[in-house]
Structure formats: structure tokens, C-alpha cells
């Protein structure tokens, strides 16, 4: 099996598009959805060119990247084999009421404004998750002491997916803040947990070293 690891290329393409849009629109209106679509098209292109197949594609994203990862889950589940969602922003209906969320209204929009909710609702994966879809396995991980993105985003998304019968896992260490741990050991453990989950979920078993 050939392994293709390309988070930098994907991040560069999405960030470049996002920057050009947000200069004029602050990442809002339907263009916010276009940013997500480009990430999905990137995955589809890997399959189209014969690099891999959907079940072998794994993706990881954290913080506001939680929007991207959970939309991969709910919008195009057939394009991914496994997802790792960390310290995530997910619930776009209530984000402004949790922790530092009110300070992000200029960037994302005000969910209490009907016009803003018209587009925020499209990218709020918590509200768009429904039963009966081919969602890939997902590990949602947060930190109990995250003081920027409330761990409630991760907790409620994992609980909803589990209640609907999906293969959704949840991890919440006590330490870490808005990150993967307070020191290198904790960060390495957090990252290894996620990458091991992705590896097993897509069926990649590297040969044992002698």
C-alpha cells in the first residue's frame, strides 16, 4: 500500500482560498461553504487520479478546523475512511455563548441574526448530522480545560453520533487547555492516540520492523 501524507498541501490550498475570500467577506456568506468544498474536491481528486480510494483517506483537523472535519463527516461521508477531530468548533448555533465565542462573531457571523444563521446553519455539522448515512469512523477529542473552544462542542457531537448508532469515539483528558497537552509527553500521547485510530480505521497496518 502506498501512503500519501499531504496535510500541508491541503492546508495551503484551503488557507489561500480562505484568505482571499475573508479579506472581503470575513469568511462569510456562501463563500464559506466554497472553502469547505475545496477540501472535499482535494480528496476526490486523489481518487480520480488513482492515488488512493475513499476508504483509505484519513483526515485530521482541530479548533476551527473542527468545522471542516465535521463537515467532511456530514456532507461527503463517502469520500473519507476515517476522521480525527480535535478541540473542535462544531455547534455554530451556540458557539457565541460559549467561552471566547462572542469575540468571533465578526469572523463567523451572529447565529441569532436570521441572515447569518442562513449560512451558519449550512456548516453547523451538529445540526446537520442525521441517521442512516454512511458516516466513516470518527474520533472526537477535546480537553476538559480548554478555555477557548468549549469542550461542549465535542461532547455533544460525539453523544449525538453515538445515539444515532455511528462509530464515533470520544476522548477528553483533564489537562491540555486549547491544545494537545501541557507538555511534550501529553501532546505526543494525544497525537499518537489519534493517528493510531486513523491508521487502524483505514486498515493501514505497516510491516513490523525486525
Residues with a catalytic annotation lie at 63, 178
Q: What are phi and psi of 108, to 5 degrees?
A: -100, -30
Q: Are 66 and 89 in contact (CB under 8 A)?
A: yes
Close Cβ partners of 157 (under 8 Å, ≥ 6 residues apart): 70, 85, 88, 90, 91, 125, 126, 129, 140, 168
- Would you say the C-alpha torsion 10, 72, 90, 189 has a positive or negative sign? negative
- Would you say the C-alpha torsion 23, 28, 30, 31 has a positive or negative sign? positive
What whole-number distance in Å separates Cα of residue 66 and Cα of residue 85?
Answer: 6
What whole-number distance in Å separates Cα of residue 73 and Cα of residue 183?
Answer: 30
Close Cβ partners of 177 (under 8 Å, ≥ 6 residues apart): 143, 145, 146, 147, 148
Amino acid at each position: 500500500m502506498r501512503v500519501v501524507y499531504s496535510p500541508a498541501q491541503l492546508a495551503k490550498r484551503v488557507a489561500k482560498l480562505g484568505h482571499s475570500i475573508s479579506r472581503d467577506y470575513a469568511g462569510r456568506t456562501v463563500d464559506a461553504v466554497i472553502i469547505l468544498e475545496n477540501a472535499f474536491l482535494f480528496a476526490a481528486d486523489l481518487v480520480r487520479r488513482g492515488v488512493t480510494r475513499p476508504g483509505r483517506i484519513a483526515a485530521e483537523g482541530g479548533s476551527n478546523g473542527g468545522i471542516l472535519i465535521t463537515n467532511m463527516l456530514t456532507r461527503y461521508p463517502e469520500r473519507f475512511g476515517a476522521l480525527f477531530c480535535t478541540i473542535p468548533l462544531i455547534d455554530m448555533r451556540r458557539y457565541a455563548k460559549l467561552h471566547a465565542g462572542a469575540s468571533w462573531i465578526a469572523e463567523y457571523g451572529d447565529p441569532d441574526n436570521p441572515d447569518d444563521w442562513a449560512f451558519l446553519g449550512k456548516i453547523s455539522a451538529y445540526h446537520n448530522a442525521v441517521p442512516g448515512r454512511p458516516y466513516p469512523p470518527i474520533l472526537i477529542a477535546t480537553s476538559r480545560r480548554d478555555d477557548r473552544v468549549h469542550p461542549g462542542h465535542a461532547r455533544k457531537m460525539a453523544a449525538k453520533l453515538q445515539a444515532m448508532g455511528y462509530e464515533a469515539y470520544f476522548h477528553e483528558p483533564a489537562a491540555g487547555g486549547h491544545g494537545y497537552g501541557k507538555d511534550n509527553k501529553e501532546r505526543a500521547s494525544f497525537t499518537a492516540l489519534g493517528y493510531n485510530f486513523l491508521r487502524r480505521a483505514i486498515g493501514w497496518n505497516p510491516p513490523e520492523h525486525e
